[in-house]
Copies of this chain bind each other. A is one copy, B any other.
Amino acid sequence: MRLAEADFTTKERILAAAESLFAERGFDGAAVRDIAARSGLNGASLYNHFPSKQALYEAVLERGIQPLLEELVRAAQAPGRGPAAGGRIIEALMAHLERTPLVPRLVEHEAVRGGEHLARLARHWIRPLFEQGLAALKASPDARRWSEDELPLLIAAYLHLVFGHFAMAPLLAEVLDEDPLAPESLARQTRFLRKLSQLLVGPPSPHPEGSLHEAQ
């Protein structure tokens, strides 16, 4: 029991270290030895827990993306399909990413390089997400302002907006002079996205400023 627990802990430590290094430097830039060192291990010991760098990478991706997807499914399936659903999903998503802020960087790295791993990533994880979003949007009366072939773009837009904030955090930090991952920044971004969402798929607002400013 003690041993198994220690093993679990070590594995977790490796995964966390790998996540941060893969997020920072990408697959090629992250050295196994560095990951091991950041886990408090010798470079060779890591191979007692993962058979290869590639396997470790995939485990990191899976560990990061799986809960994210589950969270999304949960948020989307929560009762209340009304116009507030979009805002709720955004909130859930942002709240989740606040706890795993490196995942978007991993995804972005992978997406940008279009690696072999990408197809599986897309098919197994992103595509269901898209379809789920599509269904939700089609069910929403207020989304009727978007034609059918615009809906995928709309979902992609949400993806860019939410993931971009996390993935490009290092750049934004330099430009905005504040840490985009700080709680206040995230809260502000969440409010901003909800407002934006209202404008995009909310009901047409005859006097937007007043109502929207309160809406948060």
Interface residue ranges, A against B (CB under 8 Å): 23-29, 105, 107-114, 118-119, 121-123, 126-127, 130, 144-145, 147, 149-150, 152-154, 156-157, 159-161, 163-165, 167-168, 170-172, 174-176, 188-189, 192, 195-196, 199-200, 204-209, 212-213
Contacts and interface: CB of A to CB of B under 8 A. Distances in A.
27 contacts: A25-B113, A26-B112, A26-B113, A28-B28, A29-B29, A105-B112, A108-B108, A108-B112, A109-B112, A111-B168, A112-B112, A113-B170, A118-B170, A119-B174, A122-B174, A123-B174, A126-B174, A144-B209, A145-B208, A147-B213, A154-B192, A156-B164, A156-B168, A160-B165, A160-B168, A204-B207, A206-B206
A interface, over-half SS: helix
A191 to B, nearest CB: 8
State the copy count for this chain.
4
A155 B144 CA distance: 26
B170 A164 contact: no
A145 B209 contact: yes
A126 B28 contact: no
Nearest to A160: B164
Contacts of A207: 204
Nearest 3 Cβ contacts at the A-B interface: A114-B170, A160-B164, A122-B174
B165 A156 contact: yes
Contacts of A111: 167-168, 170-171
Which among A28, A105, A127, A149 has the highest number of chain B CB atoms within 10 Å?
A28
Given A160-B160, A204-B205, A209-B144, A112 B167 contact: yes
Contact of A164 (B152, B164, B206): B164
